[in-house]
Amino acid sequence: MWVIWALLAAVCAGLTIVLTKAGLKNVDSNLAFAIQAVFIICITWGFVAFQNLFSEIKEIDNKAWMLLIGAGITTTLATMFSYKALSMGPASYVMTIERLALVFAIILSVIFLKEKLTWQLVVGASIMVAGAVLIAFSESKS
């Protein structure tokens, strides 16, 4: 079941990139993200309300709070950096490099979460890096 959710996330992320790139034409990247962030907050808190999860907030321990705050900060910075890059370069090139986050996630998951490193992960990550390098050093059309 997680694969379906992951595919839906990928489709939505792809749509977000295209819509954002088109929307950045005459809008500062930070302002564009701030506008989108309002909808992110409204939609996510709407889901929390719909699922009646407000009472669970008090059950979150300090370590989880710190980790979630850290993730919130890095999510915000990653998105701001991504939008800035999108405002300057072609979406297909920018996002190819930005999606190297997958490779960093693999490395960090092995180091910090003690996830098992398999030959499939190594080969897959290597292909991702090779693809990003190939695209980054190809001739941009924009």
Is 90 exceeded by the pLDDT of residue 137? no
Residue 105 has pLDDT above 90, yes or no: yes
Q: What is the DSSP string of 9-29?
A: HHHHHHHHHHHHHHHGGGS-H
* Amino acid present at 38: V
pLDDT exceeds 60 at position 119: yes
pLDDT at residue 140 greater than cutoff 80 = no
Domain parsing of the chain, residue ranges:
1-88, 90-142
Using an 8 Å Cβ cutoff, are 112 and 97 in contact?
no
Tokens representing 99 are: 């999606």
Question: Each residue of 76-92: pLDDT tens digit?
Answer: 999 999 999 999 999 99
Helices 2-23/91-98 angle, 10° precision: 140
H or E segment at 136?
helix 119-136
The per-residue pLDDT for range 34-56, each reduced to its tens digit, is: 999 999 999 999 999 999 999 99
| Mean per-residue pLDDT of the chain | 94
For 13-36, what is the mean pLDDT? 95
- Does the structure show a pLDDT above 70 at 24? yes
